[in-house]
Structure 1
Amino acid sequence: MLTATNIGTLVTCSPDVNNGLPVITGTKTSVSRVVVLYKQGANAEEIARRISHLNLAQVYAALAYYHANRDQIENELTQAEAEYWSLATLHSQKDKTKDE
């Protein structure tokens, strides 16, 4: 007999994992990681190939979560990008100080 998967269990948020941001259940892979690849033009099958420990159902669950919670995930991505540029600027300033 086949066992059905409750798709509502494929994405979780826990304060103990990824600072409470949504991840694929049983992994430390964030929904936002899947979304970044999706926004770069990768389809679900390609994402599953690139993040090989995820199956197609998990990728589709992450994408469904994104589409249902777009504002939340876009905000998360914006914050991550701002943090990246802040750290890059800090690193660049340190390099300039070393060269002087």
Structure 2
Amino acid sequence: MATATNIGTLVTCSPDVGDGCPVIAGTKTSVSRVVVLYKQRANAEEIARRISHLNLAQVYAALAYYHANRDQIETELAQAEAEYWSLASFNSFKK
């Protein structure tokens, strides 16, 4: 008989991994990374193919976490984008 997986254990948040942002348990892959691909219209199977160390259950768990916590993940994505553009403009001044 197959062992059931508690899907609540597939996503975790810890200050020791990913600065406390939600990640796929047992990996350093953030939920945000999965969501970026999802927002680029990749389906779960395609995301699992592109991030090959994740299985389909992990991808769906990340997407479920995103849909249940959309504001949190959207804030993380906005902060990451702002940081990117801040660094990009800083580096353009150095040239």
**The TM-score by the shorter chain falls in which range?**
over 0.9
Give the distance between the partners of 1:2 and 1:29, measured in 2 at CA.
26
Give identity over the alignment, percent: 86
**Aligned match of 1:14:** 14
The residue correspondences of 1:1-100 to structure 2 (distance < 5 A) are 1-95=1-95
RMSD (Å) for aligned C-alpha atoms: 0.3
Give the TM-score normalised by the residue count of structure 2.
0.99
The residue type paired with residue 86 of structure 2 is S
- Larger Rg computed on CA atoms: 1
After TM superposition, what 4+ stretches of structure 1 lie above 4 angstroms from structure 2? none
Give the distance between the partners of 1:2 and 1:47, measured in 2 at CA.
25
The residue type paired with residue 10 of structure 1 is L
Give the distance between the partners of 2:75 and 2:2, measured in 1 at CA.
39
Give the distance between the partners of 1:2 and 1:74, measured in 2 at CA.
36
The residue type paired with residue 43 of structure 1 is N
Report the CA distance between 1:4 and its aligned residue. Answer: 0.3
What is the count of residue pairs matched by the alignment? Answer: 95
**Unmatched 5+ stretches in structure 2:** none
**Unmatched 5+ stretches in structure 1:** 96-100
